[in-house]
Structure 1
Amino acid sequence: MAGLAVPTWDPQTALLIGAILFEAIVLYVGYGGLERLVGPRLMELLVGGDSGVGQ
């Protein structure tokens, strides 16, 4: 039966995929935190005081 064979994994390939996923998670969390920290102040600076961001 074709298509039922389980593919074998190369350990280096699995390590590379794991490293890429870990990097993506770190960047997602890091940029999310940075946006929460700097975002409101930056928007107030760019848009102006009447934007309602700081309220």
Structure 2
Amino acid sequence: MAGLAIPTWDPETALLIGTILLEAIVLYVGYGGLERIVGPRLLKLVVGGE
């Protein structure tokens, strides 16, 4: 049956996948923090509310 073989992991591939996942987590946390800090100020500036 084609396509059912278990792939072998190359250490470079595993490192690349780990690096990409770590970068995604850092960006997610970083943009979340930035939104908490800058978001309300920017919203007040754009909307002009309280």
TMscore range, shorter length: 0.7 to 0.9
Higher relative contact order (CA 8 A, sep 6+): 1
* Matching of residue 19 in structure 1 with residue 19 in structure 2: yes
TM-score by length of 1: 0.79
Q: What amino acid is aligned across from residue 8 of structure 2 in structure 1? A: T
Kindly report the root-mean-square deviation, in angstroms, between the aligned alpha carbons of the 2 structures.
Answer: 1.1
Q: Which runs of 4+ in 1 moved over 4 A?
A: none
1:1-55 pair list within 5 angstroms = 2=1, 3=4, 5-49=5-49
Give the percent of matched residue pairs that are identical in Structure 1 and Structure 2. 77
Distance of 2:31 and 2:6 partners within structure 1: 37
Aligned residues: 48
Distance of 1:35 and 1:14 partners within structure 2: 32
Q: What amino acid is aligned across from residue 12 of structure 2 in structure 1? A: Q
TM-score by length of 2: 0.86
In our comparison, the structure showing a higher alpha carbon Rg is 1
Q: What 5-or-longer segments of structure 1 have no aligned partner?
A: none
